[in-house]
């Protein structure tokens, strides 16, 4: 399995949870899901957290106007 693809999938989910309007996704449910995602990712080893952060930065350019969000995702999730 390629970790880059897994990290991209996590980034895509985080973007969905953060930017989907409340008419399509309940804000409380989105926040709860983001908090659960964060809690699980915080359980990674220090090495895996570092890899996740590096890959987020490497992938960020592909996300257009969400680039800044992706760059800061590791910090926002509490793993950096």
pLDDT in tens, 31-48: 999 999 999 999 999 999
Q: Is 0.85 topped by the overall pTM?
A: yes
Are 3 and 54 within 8 A, CB to CB? no
23 vs 61: CA distance, rounded Å: 28
Q: What is the pLDDT of residue 31?
A: 97
22 secondary structure, DSSP code: T
**Residue 2 confidence (pLDDT):** 66
Interval 20-28 mean pLDDT: 96
CA distance 33 to 74: 16
- Count of structural domains, the chain: 1
CA-CA distance, 75 to 67, in Å (whole number)?
A: 14
The answer to whether 8 and 14 are in contact (CB under 8 A) is: no
Range of the domain at 64: 3-76
pLDDT at position 38 is 97
Residue with tokens 């996590």: 10
């Amino acid at each position: 399995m390629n970790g880059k693809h897994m990290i991209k999938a996590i980034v895509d989910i985080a973007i969905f949870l953060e930017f989907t309007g409340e008419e399509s996704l309940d804000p409380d449910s989105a926040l709860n899901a983001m908090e659960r995602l964060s809690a699980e990712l915080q359980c990674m080893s220090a090495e895996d957290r570092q890899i996740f952060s590096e890959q987020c930065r490497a992938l960020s350019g592909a996300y257009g106007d969400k680039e800044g969000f992706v760059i800061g995702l590791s910090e926002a999730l509490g793993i950096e």
